[in-house]
Amino acid sequence: MASMNQLKVKDLQILKLPPWSFELSAGESVFLSGPSGSGKTRLLRALADLDPHQGDMSLDDVSYLGMTAHEWRKKVAFLPAESQWWCVDVGGHFNQYNSDLLQQLGFSKETMSWEVARLSSGEKQRLALLRALAENPEVLLLDEPTANLDDKCTRVIEQVVEGLCRDHGMAAIWVTHNASQVQRIARHGWVLQGNAIIRQDT
């Protein structure tokens, strides 16, 4: 995993939400919650430079404007709530992957030869996480990654992300509605209420 000292976000603004400024240190895991439709996903997509926005973002004081969009997204990876699959087999979606993470997520190398059509929703979400981690991002943006999963799959995903934050300095921002999950994954985060973004400790 690449070493990251700090993500700095200054006056990030989308929709009718107020400017959002914060700093995220290496290894830190935070949450973002709020009602459906409040803008959580759009904020994550803006952080990944996938949607139009105002404001500045930087990693180790290097602005996203000094990188191509592809370079930024290698460093700041976005894991959507619903993963997309376009090849017949699993392996067709990977140029590379971490075999240790594959095992931690409950799979073997043979999984790469599986047809996507046979995957359960839990398997898809765990493999989508592996795909998001393939470029060794410095920041991982998770959009309700466990919303439709059972407790076992939920804990597997939490443990893998927690391990990468702890052992490799990756930072993570989780969008979640699950209060118990918030308590497990983060010490603080932000809640979207109306047109406000409010910092909150767990």
Contact 25, 5 (CB under 8 A): yes
- The count of other CB atoms within 10 Å of the CB of residue 70 is 9
Q: Which domains does the chain have, with CATH numbers?
A: 6-81+134-201 (3.40.50.300)
77/137 Cα distance (integer angstroms): 6
Identify residue 106 by its one-letter amino acid code.
G
76/142 Cα distance (integer angstroms): 11
pLDDT (tens digit per residue) in 121-157? 899 999 999 999 999 999 999 999 998 889 999 999 9
Structural tokens at position 123: 């398997």
The pLDDT value recorded for residue 169 is: 94
| Strand, coil or helix: 18 | coil
Strands 29-33 and 188-193 come out as parallel
pLDDT over 50 at 15, yes or no: yes
- The count of other CB atoms within 10 Å of the CB of residue 91 is 14
Transcribe 93-109 into DSSP letters.
G-S---HHHHHHTT--G
Read off the pTM.
0.94
| Strand, coil or helix: 160 | helix
List, in order, residues 6 or more apart from 133 with CB less than 8 Å away: 77, 98, 101, 140, 164
pLDDT (tens digit per residue) in 33-85? 999 999 999 999 999 999 999 999 999 999 999 999 999 999 999 999 999 99
48/78 Cα distance (integer angstroms): 6
Confidence band (pLDDT; 50, 70, 90) for 5? low
